[in-house]
Chain A
Amino acid sequence: MVMENLGSSLRDTLKKIARANRIDEKTLNEVVKDIQRALLSADVNVALVQQLSKRIKDRALKEELSGKLNPRQHVINIVYQELVALLGEPISVLLTRHTVIMVGLQGSGKTTTTAKLARFFQKKGLKAAVICADTYRPGAYDQLSQLCERIGVAFYGESESSDAVEITTRGLAELKRYDVILVDTAGRHALETDLVLEMEAINETSKADQRFLVLDSGIGQQASEQAKAFNEAIGLTGVIVTKLDGTAKGGGALSAVAEVGTGIAFIGMGETIDDLEKFEPDRFISRLLGMGDMKTLVEMIEEEPPIEMEEAEAMLKGEFTLKDMYKQMDAIRKMGPLTKIVQMLPLGSLGVDIPNGALQSTKETLERFKVVMDSMTGEELEHPRIIRSSRIKRIARGSGVTSDYVRELLKYHKAMQRAMKGVRSQKEMQKFLRKQGVK
């Protein structure tokens, strides 16, 4: 399908520029068109894409190519900077006493996210409480009260009342002694005038310090319009993007924050209560463009030491411990479904095709490996060498696998360790990936 090839099409075009020693308008037009297509199929607002591509083109032609950049890096750098500018600063959460109101369209995931956020504050050591101000959807009260009960967070709601503003007033009085109070509201859209007025009233009553818009990552061209309406009504202080564990790229969220001029605070990565993660612009942009190497590339360009420099050095020195491998797997998992990640990896441009079944088994293997590693002690993770047969037996029992499986994991780790030792340049990395991919 066309869509899946966008990332690799973009890479191919960029490769073309890399070979040229200056950027001519024709090639640039091609790249910009590819970037446009990538952004459009990621649900970025059409008007925004048009503005953006014009700016990218202007800058790429106007700005001098500095000595250390090749044309490809030059263009990527500009694209990256422009997207980062649109995304704004990630919103940091308050860890003091405050009130939060959660708003959004129907079915965007407000209630689930409210519970996740309460859990987040709880883990930070704050006393969190939740008010259910959704009096419209049947079962909303039960949903939120059940979720709160599961995590042991205080809950206020009135299943029989239909006045959300009054509920909020009483709830705030009731929950005075809590540090963070989260107000969940009913789903609504910009054209539902009564509901928009109700939201304004709840907002005034609650005097909320944070006003979060919860936005489905799958939303299309409506995103900016809706975000604008919510912003005009209550003045948003941030956006939370949900359902990013699916295949949606989240361009709607980009359009929304660009429209409103705020940033993204959190992303929802699954249905369980802990599946709420901090927003990371780099990862988000990589996903948007379908390119995995954005961050590394940009870091290379800026010649700033990457944050995980020590880790990277450790890997190169061959001190790649099980802990490092665990982190790596976790990082991979967080990037989204594996089938999509593989499209981002440079495998595609090397012409390596991986059958779908293989990917699924890889995903399961990764997950099982993680389970096995969860049964190891910190010492074992740091020094895998100490793991002998009795430890293997214990780990196998603890994680519900056979001893052979634990040995397989250790073997895999050794192979990775060797591979990491071998990685000295990107060329070798590609060779390594090719080997892995062909297998």
Chain B
Amino acid sequence: MFEGLRQKLNQFKKTVTNKEHELDDAEVEASSNDAARLAEGPQETAGETYTPPAVHDDEAVGVSRSAESATQREVPGEATRTTSGRSLFEREIKEKDLEEPLWDLEIALLESDVAMSVSEEIVDTVKKELIGTKRKWRQDVGALVEQALRDGILKVLDVNSLDFDELVKKAPKPVTIVFTGINGTGKTTTIAKLAYRLKNQGYAVVLAAGDTYRAGALEQIERHADNLGVKLIKHQQGADPAAVIYDAVQYARAKHKDVVLADTAGRIHTNVNLMNQLKKIERVIDADLVVFVDEALAGNDAVERALQFNTAMAIDGSILTKVDADSKGGTAISIAHATNKPILFLGLGQKYDDIVKFNPQWLLNRLFGEAET
């Protein structure tokens, strides 16, 4: 499922490691020239052909090198200088060494549906981390890159972490949660799943039929409320969604219910009037949590949408749906980056219990392959 990134990363590790070993070897060759000569016997044409020094015994040495790559090496003499604080066995990673492999890595992120702008930023962080790093000679560069990449992604995913269960537990009742997002991402289905989850945890749940626009939306949420046996507050089609949600909160207050899950109509973020409607809901309803729902299938546009929705009504966290459709999961990174808020849950199917809490480590493990954690 996640071969793309794993493969590319391994490839990247290999390329960089080889390159670095090449450089190392060049150093060693130059610095321990005499020793090497003593050990290996006379070289045919110095600097042109390469003979592995005896000190190397790991797999990187076995990689064949052409005469061409040997000539591309840096001037050996430079590395032997110890005056500028650089010890004999330290080497700096240079930008040009990383250019190609980093682009490959970026492609791998794009293949996993991380948006272009976000991929670029993550790869940039990795680059900055690595360039100028004084690396102990023979330390595994691949591991260094993976760590940098993991840190970069984790930094994006682990923002303002928020425990949904804790929040529902601690916040004064009723806890009001409003769901937003574009059309067809699965807001209503997600609300039903969460209602099921919260009900099983012992909370009294009220649903608000805030999608008063789409044909069949009322019937859809009504069906769910019936199936789950939870109260639904609704008005007729075309009613003001802010009023519906307000009524639901009033009802919950009067009847001592614990949680209000408020649906809204899907809207395209370029529609100014509909985005203003969200602003009105924000003014009228003092929501404890605004949850942005988007699908794991979304590509680059996920960033733009998240930004626009966040502007209309500040998002506290997001839920990623349709993760079961073989998506790579990179959308989670895009959305977390755009909103600067955590991913709360993942939707994994059409059944009520197909929802799991999001754990950044989960995504990382899938991206990099469990074996490497």
**Which A residues contact B (CB, under 8 angstroms)?**
1-3, 37, 40-43, 46, 105-109, 111, 136-144, 146-147, 150, 189-191, 216-222, 225-226, 243, 245-249, 251-252, 270-271, 336-337, 339, 360, 363
Contact = CB atoms under 8 A, between A and B. Distances in A.
Contact of B301 (A43, A225, A339): A43
Contacts of B328: 221-222
Interface in B151-204: 182-186
Interface in B66-120: 107, 110-113, 115-117, 120
Contacts of B112: 221
Given A2-B120, A3-B300, A222-B297, A146 B215 contact: yes
B299 A107 contact: no
A147 B213 CA distance: 12
Interface stretch (B17-25, B302-310, B312-320, B355-363): B302-310
A106 B186 CA distance: 8
B117 A1 contact: yes
Contacts of B269: 246-247
B107 A246 contact: no
Interface stretch (B28-36, B126-134, B216-224, B246-254): B216-224
Interface of B: 107, 110-113, 115-117, 120, 182-186, 213-224, 227, 268-272, 295, 297-305, 322, 324-328, 330-331, 350
Contact of B184 (A40, A107, A221, A252): A107
A145 to B, nearest CB: 8
Contact of B217 (A139, A144, A191, A339): A139
Nearest to A37: B116
A2 B220 contact: no
Nearest to A216: B184
Contact of B110 (A46, A106, A140, A141): A46
Nearest to A44: B299
A174 B346 CA distance: 42
B325 A105 contact: yes
5 contacts: A2-B116, A220-B298, A225-B326, A226-B325, A246-B301
A252 B299 contact: yes
B220 A137 contact: yes
Contacts of B223: 138-139
A220 B300 contact: yes
Contact of A139 (B115, B116, B220, B300): B220
Given A142-B218, A191-B325, 15 more contacts: A2-B116, A41-B115, A41-B300, A46-B111, A106-B322, A106-B350, A108-B184, A138-B227, A139-B221, A146-B216, A191-B324, A226-B325, A246-B268, A246-B301, A339-B270
A338 to B, nearest CB: 9
B299 A251 contact: yes
A40 B183 CA distance: 24
B259 to A, nearest CB: 21
Contact of A219 (B107, B117, B224, B297): B297
B220 A142 contact: yes
A189 B326 contact: yes
B297 A144 contact: no
Contacts of B111: 46, 221
B41 to A, nearest CB: 43
A41 B116 contact: yes
Contacts of B222: 139
A5 to B, nearest CB: 10
A144 B215 CA distance: 7
Nearest to A337: B270
A106 B184 contact: yes
Contacts of A246: 182, 268-270, 301, 305
Contacts, number: 161
A271 B182 CA distance: 11
A147 B300 contact: no
Contacts of B297: 105, 216, 219-220, 222, 226
Nearest to A111: B216
B270 A142 contact: no
Contact of B224 (A42, A138, A247): A138
Nearest to A186: B350
Contact of A221 (B113, B185, B218, B305): B113
A245 B268 contact: yes
A170 to B, nearest CB: 21
Closest 7 CB pairs of A and B: A143-B216, A220-B299, A139-B220, A107-B184, A138-B223, A43-B299, A41-B116
Contacts of A189: 322, 324-326
Contact of B350 (A136, A146, A147): A136
A107 B116 contact: no
A107 B216 contact: no
B273 to A, nearest CB: 10
Contacts of B295: 107
A245 B300 CA distance: 16
A107 B189 CA distance: 11
Given A105-B322, A190-B325, A248 B301 contact: yes
Contacts of A271: 183, 213-214, 268
A219 B298 contact: yes
Given A106-B184, A222-B327, A271-B183, A140 B301 contact: no
A210 B224 CA distance: 34
B303 A142 contact: no
A247 B184 contact: no
Contact of A218 (B107, B120, B271, B299): B299
Nearest to A246: B268
Given A46-B110, A142-B215, A218 B272 contact: no
A111 B115 CA distance: 29
Given A43-B299, A107-B185, A222 B325 contact: yes
B105 to A, nearest CB: 13
A293 B326 CA distance: 37
Interface centre among B185, B271, B300, B322 (most CB of A within 10 A): B300
Interface centre among A3, A141, A144 (most CB of B within 10 A): A3
B11 to A, nearest CB: 15
A221 B331 CA distance: 10
A333 to B, nearest CB: 12
B298 A190 contact: no
A295 to B, nearest CB: 23
Contacts of B305: 218, 246-247
A362 B256 CA distance: 49
Contacts of B272: 360, 363
A37 B268 CA distance: 25
Contacts of A137: 220
Nearest to A47: B111
Contacts of B183: 107, 109, 243, 271
B219 A139 contact: yes
A228 to B, nearest CB: 12
Nearest to B192: A138
